Amino acid sequence: MREIFRLGLILMTYALIAGAALSLVGLKTMPVIAENLARAEEEARIFVLPAMNGGFESIEGGALSYWIGFRDEAKTVVGGYVFTALGMGYSSEIRTMIGVDENFAIVGTNVLFQQETPGLGTKIIEVSSGDSDPWYMRQFIGKSLPEQLKLSSDGGGIDGISGATISSRAVAESIERGLASLQETVGGNR
Amino acid sequence: MSVLKELTKGIYKENPVFRLALGLCPTLAVTSSVENGVGMGLAATAVLLCSNIIISLVRNLVPKKIRIPIYITIIATFVTIVELLMNAYFPALYKSLGIFVPLIVVNCIILGRAEAFASRNNMFMSIVDAIGMGVGFTLSLVVISTFREVLGNGTFYGMNVLPSSYEPAMFMVQAPGAFLTLGLILAFFNWLDLRKTGN
């Protein structure tokens, strides 16, 4: 009996030290991590919808959360919108940030998160040598609703990836859905 | 016990993957590209180094009956600290390695070295052991992922190395390719062994 208490106490001491070390590191790193995340999102917004001198304004609470980008610093001229599209891929959720101009044509895309099969589904973010952006995602630039945002096998204007149809379709469908929802939400607010 | 022997044993004689068959689960999972293999190898080496140092320092303060829970606590703590620090100060590295870092806790090479080496040797020898084993693990991952990435995707470390007329054997970067590659390499090492002993 005394042996159990002794061993329990020793184990507890190790756990206490480990816990203290972790909370110390956690306290130091949490604010930096949150800051990194916020900055990454801000950079992603600027990347998908550039030249917004008035910055972005977040609109939340409706069916879809999105940002309005303003062309001028007085925030009177709307230059476009940014939203995040969510799609269920083959092995993960695929989160894509999309920037559209004031006429809802796609200006820029950025895949924020995906854990698809390496070598197959990850081709949605594969960059060919000499390029700066993924060749699959580039197909969306300049496109708009209603018909162009489907895979060509589904009657649209996007070429799917052979061997990764589920991933490429998930991206196209999530963007199509998000854009439709955005047009509806913005139309309702106008 | 010579320092050089402890340092080099992980590369061939006691190679963790090919000879001891340890850490096969992360090995199979992350070797779809050379970049992932190198990343996982280096991250595991860093944790192995830290845990070997601490465990060799406290080896006389650990009762035998509860050594495993204590080792796991120490290893898991280091993995979490590495993850937090990477996330905060090296976000780009974290983004490419993020999913592998938590996997290091269950990498049995680390617990294996704690149990078999660090708990019985001083800090200096444990550091040497960690570096040797870490390098051996990283090299094994590079060997396997080279076969898989070149044959399965036509690239090495993301660079095209095969002519574009080559049609990549897609299954090599999927799970079956991992088993096939590892199995053939293990068979090769066993064959070397048998030949050496003259059987």
**Which of A106-115, B107-116, B176-185 holds the top average pLDDT?**
B176-185
Note whether A51 contacts B: Cβ–Cβ < 8 A. no
Which residue numbers in chain A have pLDDT < 70? 129, 147, 188-190
Q: What are the residues facing B164 on neighbouring strands? A: none
- A114-133 burial: b if 16+ Cβ within 10 Å, else e: bebbbbbbbbbbbeeeeeee
User: Which residues 143-182 in chain B show a CB within 8 A of chain A?
Assistant: 152-153, 159-160, 170, 173-174
φ, ψ for residue A130, nearest 5 deg = 95, -15
User: B68 pLDDT exceeds 80?
Assistant: yes
- Residue B20: the pLDDT is 86
Residues of B in contact with A22 (CB under 8 A): 77, 80-81
ipTM: 0.76
Contact A109, A45 (CB under 8 A): no
Q: Where is B155: in which H helix or E strand?
A: strand B155-156
Contact B76, A17 (CB under 8 A): no
- Residue A1: the pLDDT is 79
Q: Chain-wide mean pLDDT for chain B? A: 88
Contact B69 A11 (CB under 8 A): yes
Q: For residue A50, give Cα distances in angstroms to A35, A79, B110.
A: 22, 10, 47
Rounded to an integer, what distance in angstroms lies between the CA atom of residue B55 and that of residue B114?
7
- Residue A40: the pLDDT is 84
pTM listed for this prediction: 0.73
* Burial tier of B87 (Cβ tally within 10 Å: 0-12, 13-18, 19+): buried
Please give, rounded to a whole number of angstroms, the shortest distance from the CA of A41 to a CA of chain B: 13
Number of residues in chain A: 190
Question: Scanning every residue of chain B, which has its alpha carbon at the shortest distance from the alpha carbon of A39?
Answer: B91
Contact A18 B173 (CB under 8 A): no
B82, amino acid identity: V
Rounded to an integer, what distance in angstroms lies between the CA atom of residue B87 and that of residue B80?
10
Contact B173 A118 (CB under 8 A): yes
Note whether B63 contacts A: Cβ–Cβ < 8 A. yes
Contact A18 B81 (CB under 8 A): no
Contact A129 B85 (CB under 8 A): no
Q: How does pLDDT run across B38-50, given as a tens digit for each residue?
A: 888 988 898 999 9
Residues of B in contact with A36 (CB under 8 A): 87-88, 91
pLDDT band at residue B91 under the 50/70/90 scheme = confident
Q: For B73, which of A15, A29, A118 is closest by C-beta distance?
A: A15
Mutate to test the interface with B, among A7, A29, A41 (most CBs of B within 10 A): A29
Give the mean model confidence (pLDDT) for residues B72-89.
Answer: 89
Question: Scanning every residue of chain A, which has its alpha carbon at the shortest distance from the alpha carbon of B169?
Answer: A119
- Residue B175: the pLDDT is 86
Note whether B102 contacts A: Cβ–Cβ < 8 A. no
Rounded to an integer, what distance in angstroms lies between the CA atom of residue B182 and that of residue B102?
23
Q: For residue A129, what are its two tokens?
A: 């040598």
Contact A107, A155 (CB under 8 A): no
User: B1 pLDDT exceeds 70?
Assistant: no
Residues of B in contact with A40 (CB under 8 A): 91
Q: For residue B91, what are its two tokens?
A: 């976000």
User: Which residues 16-45 in chain A show a CB within 8 A of chain B?
Assistant: 18, 21-22, 25-26, 28-29, 32-33, 36, 40
Give the mean model confidence (pLDDT) for residues B105-122.
Answer: 90
Q: How does pLDDT run across B127-179, given as a tens digit for each residue?
A: 999 999 999 999 999 999 999 999 988 888 878 888 878 888 888 888 899 99
Rounded to an integer, what distance in angstroms lies between the CA atom of residue A181 and that of residue A52?
22
Q: For residue B38, what are its two tokens?
A: 């190198």
- Could you tell me how many CB contacts below 8 A there are between chain A and chain B? 65
Give just the sign of the alpha carbon dihedral B140, B142, B145, B151. Answer: negative
- Residue B122: the pLDDT is 93
Number of other residues whose CB lies within 10 A of the CB of residue B17: 27
The DSSP string of chain A is: -HHHHHHHHHHHHHHHHHHHHHHHHHHHHHHHHHHHHHHHHHHHHHHHS---TT-EEEE-SSSS-EEEEESSTTS-SEEEEEEEEEEE-SSSEEEEEEEEETT--EEEEEEEE--PPTTTGGGGG---TT-SS-HHHHTTTT--TTTTTSBGGGTSSBPPPTT-HHHHHHHHHHHHHHHHHHHHHHHHH-
- Residue A91: the pLDDT is 84
Please give, rounded to a whole number of angstroms, the shortest distance from the CA of A45 to a CA of chain B: 18
Please give, rounded to a whole number of angstroms, the shortest distance from the CA of A53 to a CA of chain B: 27
- Residue B182: the pLDDT is 95
Domain spans of chain B, in order of start: 3-138
Contact B73 A14 (CB under 8 A): yes
ω into A146 cis (within 30 of 0): yes
Contact A118 B65 (CB under 8 A): no
Q: How does pLDDT run across A72-95, given as a tens digit for each residue?
A: 888 888 888 998 888 898 888 888
Note whether A129 contacts B: Cβ–Cβ < 8 A. yes
